[in-house]
Structures are given as structure tokens and as C-alpha cells.
Structure 1
Amino acid sequence: MQVALVGLGVMGKNLALNLIEKGVTLVAYDKNPDAGEDLLRLAKSEGTAERLHIVSDIGDMVRRLQAPRSILLLVPAGELVDRVCTELVDAGVEINDMIIDCGNSNYKDGISRKLKYQNKFEFATMGISGGAEGARHGPAMMASGSEGGWERIEPSFEKIAASFNNESCFARVGHSASGHFVKMVHNGIEYALMQLIAEVYQLLRLGCGKTPKEIAAIFETWSEGDLHSYLLSISSHILRLETKSNEALVDLIDNRVGAKGTGLWTAQNALELGIAVPSLVAAVQARHLTNTKETHAAKEMKYAAKSTNKVKVDLEELKDAFHLASLLAYRQGLALIKGASRSHQWKVDLAKTLQTWRAGCIIRADYLDQIAKNVEFVDTLTTESDALRKVSGLAIASGLAFPVLTASQTYLATLTTPSNGHLVQAQRDYFGEHGIKTHNDGTCHLTDLVEIDAKVR
């Protein structure tokens, strides 16, 4: 098998080493010659350099490949992807060659590029998760498209991807650019889970007065059982880290959180599609709030510091609440994927999507088994639902901020208890004559049912 790879940054370099280790002959290019030299040095140290060819320009890369060609792009999303595609066309790629964008591109760009390059080459998309470690030893790979070129390289990708229960975490999840949409939602869920863990930490640390090491032990106990997940495990490890003077490392880190855009895209697309993902949106807004002190608006309107209250939280109830809130984040993400698939006619396979998340990726967790077997099982978790209500109330009483925890409770309550939407719709009709529906499904206006004083109106 012969593949080319453009972009030898952290992800590209590690994916390249993974490919050649699994027997793929790789032609690699990066505009920075030092990146190629570094990759070659690593390949020599691992004894796999005979399958690696570093080239100095894209033209040489294209000439070395036998047609039909398979070329992976691991370059920053945006304009650079189009620039590389243009260079590939100029270098002589052909209509049966397949170019796969493996970066964190916006799926809308993928749709546009498929049309833009349809008479030049086959353009496909694939989301990759797992960071540098995953790329090197087995990432989650969310591919999409029906291009014939996939058949050439699918067997190799199945080998380099992570595996769970002897099943590869590579899959073509759906049509068009759905692979990038699925990866985008994966990152939205990632935002929510990271924020949720941070909120549980905050409740235990400031609400209950526990030390980082004590919280690390709690997380470790949870992770040894049904709640085992990558994010919970690394959080436990982080909370145990101390400086040489025995200071908790977490206390020395600046509170502002960075973001690269995929979480924001998830929130934006959910709003555009009219699909509620409040836990995911709350996580995005939580990151924005950590940076508000630096904005002009925040400097013009300051708020005085407030005291917080100590609370007593039952650890078993907290565990149940965390479990359910985590599951709801996945469920919201899957609902968004399903809605987008229906809207765009992607035919996304949710079972295949979940399989790609079972290992190698950042949101991997043992309790995904429960969702994989039956998405609707969340409805049966009565004990966990009661715990989420109770813990959310205690958390709010502490005076601290818990955006994802409370958004998860609100999401569940909205779908399982009487809604207040009837009053809001009545308000809309009162001032805007937007119409109302009665219980017998009839459509009318308030004025058809009652007399409204024109002076009040």
C-alpha cells in the first residue's frame, strides 16, 4: 500500500510513524524541511525508515505515487487546505486520485470543496481524534464519503486505527462531509465532559473543602468502576501532580481556557438546525466566561466578588449525577448528528459512529457500552435522575458556577416534566399574532378564544 501525507506537525508526524509501522509505504512532505528530517530520524530509530520517502516539494510527491493516488492532508483548517489542493492540481493529480482532509475543518468547507474539485480529483473528509498519542498508536478515525478511492486504503486505515473488542475504530460513518461533522460533535461532547469534570472538582474543592489529592482519589475510584474514561483518568492524574515545594500544580495554572473553534461550531450548528444541546453549548460559554475579564465590556461593568457556601454532598449521589450528566452529553451529541444527517441526507450510521469512539479518542469511556446497546436506556435511570436533581440543587446553593451540570438537569427536566412553553407561545401571539395551538390541535389566536382589552394590548 502506498500513501502520501502532507503536513508533518505533531499529528502528521505521529500518524506517519503509525502508517509505516503497519507496513504502508509513505511519501511525506512538509514545507518546513526540518519537519521531514525529524520524521526520518524517528523512523530510523524505530527501524522503519525503508518505507518512508521524504520529498522536498509537492510535485515530487505526486510523481512518486502510482495512480490512482491516495493523499492525506494534515494541515491547519481553512485557507491552507485550499492552497494545498490547488498546488496538487498544478502538480498533476488526476480525477481518480483521492485527497483526504484529515484536519479539523468545518464540514461546510468540506461540502464546498467536494463540489469545487469534483472534476479535478476525489475530495474526501476524515476526522481523527486521540491527540499525538492516538495518532501514533491508534486513533479514532471518522471517515465519510462514497468515493471509490476508499476501497484502496480502507484496509490500511483499519489497521492503524485503535481497536475495541477486535473491531477497528475506523469507519465510514456516512456520506458527503459527515466525517468532519461527527468529529466536530465529538469535540463538542469533549468540551462538555471536560467542563463537567471540572465542575465536580469545583464542588468538592470549594463546596466541600476537599484537597486536590482527595478529589484525585475519588476520581480514581470512580474510574476503576463503571465510570472508567480517558478524561476522568487524566483528571485524577493531574490532581495528584505537585511542585517540588508540594504545591498542587492545578492551583498554579491560569484560569483562562483556550479553544480552537470546533466547540463553537457545534453550538452554532445546533442552533441553526434547531436541535437542543444545552450541555454542549454551556461548556462553550463556560470557556468564553473564563476570558471575559479581558474584554472591554467586562472592564466597563465589573461585579463585586461574592462569598460561597459550604455544602454536604453524598459521594454516591454525586457519582450517579455525574454518570447521568455524562451520558446526556453523549445523547445530545448523537441527537445533533442524527438531525444533521436527516437534514443533509448523509445516512450517518450511529452504531458505526459510536464504534469509532470506543477507543483511541479523547471521549472514550467504558459506559459507552450502555449507549451503544440502547440509546434510550437513559430513560430508565431513575436513581441517577433523582441524584442529578439533588446534586444540582446543592451545587447552586453553594453559590459557585455549574453551567454544564445545571444545563444537563434542565435538559432532562424539560423533556420529562410539564413544559412552560404554552405561556411563552401565548405571549408571542398576544403581541405578534403568531398563532397558538390548542390541545385538540386546532390553530387559532388568543382573540378567537377570549376578549382582550385593546387598551391593555
Structure 2
Amino acid sequence: MQVALVGLGVMGKNLALNLIEKGMTLVAYDKNPDAGAELLSCAQSLGVEERLHIVSDLGDMVRRLEPPRSVLLLVPAGELVDAVCNELIEAGVSKGDIIVDCGNSNYKDGIARKLKYQNKFEFATMGISGGAEGARHGPAMMASGSEGGWERLVPWFEKVAASYNSESCFARVGQSASGHFVKMVHNGIEYALMQLIAEVYHLLRIGTGRSPKEVAEIFESWSEGELNSYLLSISRHILSLEDSNQTPLVDLIDNKVGAKGTGLWTAQNALELGIAVPSLVAAVQARHLTNTISTLAAKEMTYQAKETQKIDIDLEELKSAFYFASLLCYRQGLALIKGASRSHQWKVDLAKTLQTWRAGCIIRADYLDDIAKGVDFIDTLENEAKALRSITGQAIQTGLAFPVLASTQTYIATLSTPSNGHLVQAQRDYFGEHGIKTHSGETSHLTDLVDLPEKVR
């Protein structure tokens, strides 16, 4: 089996090594010749260089591959993907060939490209998670589409992907460009979980006065049980690190947080689809807030420093609240995937989606089995729900910021307690005559129900 790979950056290089180490013959190209030389050197050190062919241009790549060809793209999202596709067309790819975009492209671009190139070649999409380490030793791979070329690639991707209980973390999760949508939501969940962990650290560090090492010890004890996850594990390790002067590493790091766009796309698409994912949106906004001082609106958004309060926290209650909040972050993401699948008729398989997240990816966690049990299981966690309510209230009393913690509590409370939407409906109809729906399901107006005096202006 031969496959071509375009783009030998960090992810491309490591996935290439993974592929050839598993037995695939690879034709690789990058516009930077040094990238190809580095990959060849790595392959030589592993003794697998006979399965690697570095080419100097895409024309040579296409000529070396016997049709039907399989080409993987690991290039930056956006215009570069189209530029490579057009170069491949000029180089001679044909309708029986499959081109798989493995980058972090917007799923809408994937839908457009499938139509754009349908008479030229098969265009498919696949999200890959796990960073450089995952790409090298076993990532999570979220593919999509029913293109004819997949049957050539599936056996190899099942080999190079991570595995969990002897099951591969590669799957074709649904139709069209749903693989990139699933990867986008994966990243949105990742944003929320990272921020949630940071908020728990913040509460323990500032709210209770513990040191980073003491918080690391708490995270370590949690990781030994049902809360074990990749993100909690790396957070524990980070908090245990000190420089040569025994200064905690976290105290040397600037507070501004960057982002590459997938979190923002998650928030935007949730709003467009009308599906509430407040924890995921709050995590995106939390990153934006750390950069407020650098924005044009800095003067309007910078306030005087305020004193905060110390509190005592029950660590078992905090553990329960964190577990429950984590489950709800995942459930919001799955609800968004399900809603998008229904809207776009993608037929996304949520069980397959969760299987791809079991190992190799950034949001892998031992409690994914609990998430798979669904809303009925969530409803049985009464003590955990009470813990989230209690911890959120105590956290806010400190005066510190807890956007994801508070948004998650708001999410579950809105969906499980009486809502206040009836008054908002009435307000909208009062000033805009947008209509109201009564408990009987009928659409009406306030004036149909009561005789209103002259409206307040």
C-alpha cells in the first residue's frame, strides 16, 4: 500500500513516521526541503527509510503513485488547502483518487470542497487529535464521508490510530464533512475542560491559599480514581514544576491565553444552530478576557483591582462538583454534534464518536463510559448536582472569576428547574409584538389575553 502525505510540519512528520513504522510505503512532500530531510533522517534512525520517498514537487508525487491514489493533506487550514488541491489536479490526479484533508479545516469549507472537486477526485475530511505525541504513537482519528477510496485507507488508519481495549480510535463517524465538525466540537470541549481545571486550581490556590504543589497533590489523588484524564494528568505535572529558585512554573507564565479558532467556530456554530453550549462558549470568552488589555476597547474594559475572600472548601464536595461539571461539558458537545447531524443529515454515530475519544486524543478520560450512558445517568447523580451547586456558590463568594463553573451550573439548572422564559416572551411581545406561546401550545399576543392599558414608553 502506497500513500502520499503533503505537509511535514510537526503533525505531518510524526504521522508520517507512524505510518511507515506500521508498514506503509509513503511518498512525502513539503515545500520546505529541510522538512523532508529531517523526516528522512528520523526514518533512517528507525531503520525504515526504505519505505519513505521524499519528492521535490507534487508532480513527482503523483507520478510515483499507482492509481487509484491516496493523498493525505496536513497543511494549514484555509486557502492553502485549495492551493494544494489545484496543484494536484494540474499534476494529474484523477476521479478515482482520494484526497483527505487531515488538518483543522472548517467543516463548511469541507462541504464546499466536496462539491467543488467532485468531478476531479474524491475529497474527504478527517480530524486528528493528540498533538505531536498522538500523531507519532497513536492519535484519535475522526473521519467522515462514504467515498470509494476509504476502503483502501481504513485498515491502515485503524493500525496507526490509538487503541482502547483492543478497539481502534479511528472511525468514520458520519457523512459529508462531519469528521471536521466532530473534531471542532472535540476542541470546544477541550477548551471547556482546560478552563474548568484552571478554575478549580484558581479556587484552591487563591480561594483557599494552597500552593501549586499542594494543588498538584490533590489532582494526583483524583487521577488515581474515576477522574483520571489526560488534561488533569498534565495539569498535575505542570503544577509540580519549579525553576532553579524553587519558584512554581505557573507563577512565571503570562496570563494571556491564545487560541487557533476551533473554539470560536464551536461557539459560532452552536449559536447558528440554536443549541446551547454555555460551558464551551464561556471557555472561549474566558480566553478573550485574558487579552482584554491588548484590545482597542481596553480602556472601556479595564477596571480597578478588587479584594478577594478566602474560603474553606470540602475537597470531596469539590471532587464531586468537578466530576459532574466535566460530564456536562461533554454532554453539551455531544448535543451540539447530534443537533448538527440532524440539521445536515450526516447520520453521525455518537457511539463511534466517543470511541475515537477513548485514547490518543486530548480529551480522553476514564469516565467516558459514564458520558456514554447519557442523560438518564446524569439524572441519577443527585449528590454530584448538589455539590456543583454548593461549590459554585462558594466559589463566586470569593470574588474570583469562574466562567465555566458558573455556566455549567446555569446550564443544568436551566434544564432541570423552572425557567424564567415566560417573562422574556411577554417582554418581546410587549414592545415588538413577536407573539407568545401559551401552555396550551397556541400562539397568541398579550392583547389577546388581557386588555392592556396604554403601553409604557
Q: Which category of TM-score, normalised to the shorter sequence, fits these structures?
A: over 0.9
Amino acid at match of 1:332: Q
Q: CA deviation at 1:371?
A: 1.6
Alignment of structure 1 residues 437-456 onto 2, 5 Å: 437-456=437-456
The residue that corresponds to 1:172 in the other structure is 172
**1:135 maps to amino acid:** A
User: How far does residue 456 in structure 1 lie from its aligned partner after superposition?
Assistant: 2.8
Number of aligned residues: 457
AA matched with 1:293: I
Please state how far the C-alpha of 1:300 moved relative to its aligned partner. 4.6
**Alignment match, 1:244:** 244
Separation (CA, whole Å) in 2 of partners of 1:376 and 1:3 = 44
Q: Distance in 1 between matches of 2:398 and 2:253?
A: 23
Q: Secondary structure at the match of 1:296?
A: coil
Hey, what's the Cα distance between the residues in 2 that align with 1:373 and 1:153?
31
SS in 1 for 2:142: strand
Query: What is the Cα deviation at residue 450 of structure 1?
Result: 1.2
- Distance between the aligned counterparts of 1:449 and 1:64, measured in 2? 76
CA distance in 1 between counterparts of 2:37 and 2:441 reads 70
* Equivalent position SS for 1:401: coil
What does residue 232 of structure 1 align with?
A: 232
Could you tell me how far apart the structure 1 residues matched to 2:66 and 2:136 are? Answer: 26
Q: CA offset at residue 301 of structure 1?
A: 5.0
The offset of 1:455, in angstroms, is 4.9
How far apart, in 1, do the equivalents of 2:302 and 2:63 lie? 61
Cα distance in 1, alignment partners of residues 448 and 7 from structure 2:
65
Q: Distance in 2 between matches of 1:334 and 1:256?
A: 29
The aligned residue for residue 70 of structure 1 is: 70
**Residue 423 (structure 2) aligns with:** 423
Match of 1:17 in 2: 17
Match of 1:368 in 2: 368
Question: 2:126 matched to which residue of 1?
Answer: 126
Task: Name the structure 2 match of 1:6.
Answer: 6
Q: Give the aligned partner of residue 281 of structure 1.
A: 281
Partners of 1:173 and 1:326 lie apart in 2 by 23
Do the aligned partners of 2:127 and 2:179 also contact (CA within 8 Å) in 1? yes
Q: Which amino acid aligns with 1:211?
A: S
User: Equivalents in 1 of 2:214, 2:36: separation in Å?
Assistant: 45
What is the match of residue 268 of structure 2? 268
Q: Is the 8 A contact 2:106 2:181 kept in 1?
A: yes
Find the aligned partners of 2:144 and 2:441 in 1 and give their Cα distance.
Answer: 41
1:79 paired residue number: 79
Letter of the aligned partner of 1:88 in structure 2?
L
Map 1:14-93 to 2 at 5 A: 14-93=14-93
> 2:162: which partner in 1?
162
Q: Please say if residues 292 and 302 of structure 2, whose CA atoms lie closer than 8 Å, have aligned partners that are also in contact.
A: no
CA distance in 2, matches of 1:336, 1:43: 41
Q: What SS class does the counterpart of residue 5 from structure 1 fall into? A: strand
Unaligned runs of 5+ in 1: none
Please tell me the residue identity of whatever aligns with 1:249.
L
Q: Which runs of 4+ in 1 moved over 4 A?
A: none
Q: Which residue of 2 aligns with 1:294?
A: 294
> Residues 99, 303 of structure 1: CA spacing in aligned structure 2 closer, same or farther, 3 A cutoff?
same
- Measure, in 2, the Cα distance between the counterparts of 1:456 and 1:27: 73
Query: Contact 2:143–2:172 (CA<8 Å) still a contact in 1?
Result: yes
Following the alignment from structure 2 to structure 1, what is the Cα–Cα distance between the partners of residues 136 and 301?
47
Match status 1:137 vs 2:133 = no
Per-residue deviation, 1:435: 1.1
1:105 equivalent in structure 2: 105
- The equivalent of 2:334 in structure 1 is 334
Q: What is aligned with 1:348? A: 348
TM-superposed deviation, 1:434: 1.1
1:365-404 mapped onto 2 (5 Å cutoff): 365-404=365-404
Instruction: Kindly provide the CA deviation profile for residues 151-181 of structure 1, in whole angstroms up to 9, marking residues without a partner as x.
Output: 0110000000000000000000000000000
Paired position in structure 1 for 2:212: 212
- Cα deviation, 1:209-232, whole Å, max 9, x if unaligned, reads 000000000000001100000000
Greater shift, 439-448 or 379-388, is seen at 439-448
Distance in 2 (CA, whole Å) between partners of 1:322 and 1:270 is 24
* CA deviation after TM superposition for structure 1 residue 372, in Å: 2.1
Q: Which amino acid aligns with 1:112?
A: A
TM-aligned CA deviation for residue 375 of structure 1: 4.7
For residues 94-141 of structure 1, the C-alpha deviation after alignment (integer angstroms, 9 at most, x for no partner) is: 001000000000000000000000000000000000000000000000
Report the residue type matching 2:47 in the other structure. Answer: G
User: In 1, distance between residues paired with 2:369 and 2:437?
Assistant: 41
Mapped partners of 2:170, 2:455: distance in 1: 65
Provide the rounded CA distance (Å) in 1 between the counterparts of 2:34 and 2:213: 42
Q: Which one-letter code corresponds to 1:258 in the other structure? A: G
C-alpha offsets along residues 392-414 of structure 1, whole Å, 9 cap, x if unaligned? Answer: 00000000000000000000000
User: Which deviates further from its counterpart, 107-116 or 433-442?
Assistant: 433-442
Aligned to 2:407: 407
Normalised by the size of structure 1, how large is the TM-score? 0.99
TM-score by length of 2: 0.99
The gaps in structure 2 that reach 5 residues or longer are none
Aligned-pair RMSD on alpha carbons? 0.8
Question: 1:333/1:453 Cα in 2 relative to 1: closer, same or farther (>3 Å)?
Answer: same
What amino acid is the match of 1:284? V
Supply the distance in 1 between the matched residues of 2:426 and 2:435 (Cα, whole angstroms). Answer: 8
CA contact (8 A) 2:19 2:26 kept: yes
For residue 352 of structure 1, report the CA deviation from its aligned partner.
0.2
Amino acid at match of 1:68: P
For 1:9 and 1:294, locate their aligned partners in 2 and report how far apart those are by CA, in whole Å.
30
Letter in structure 2 aligned against 1:93: V
The residue type equivalent to 1:62 in the other structure is V
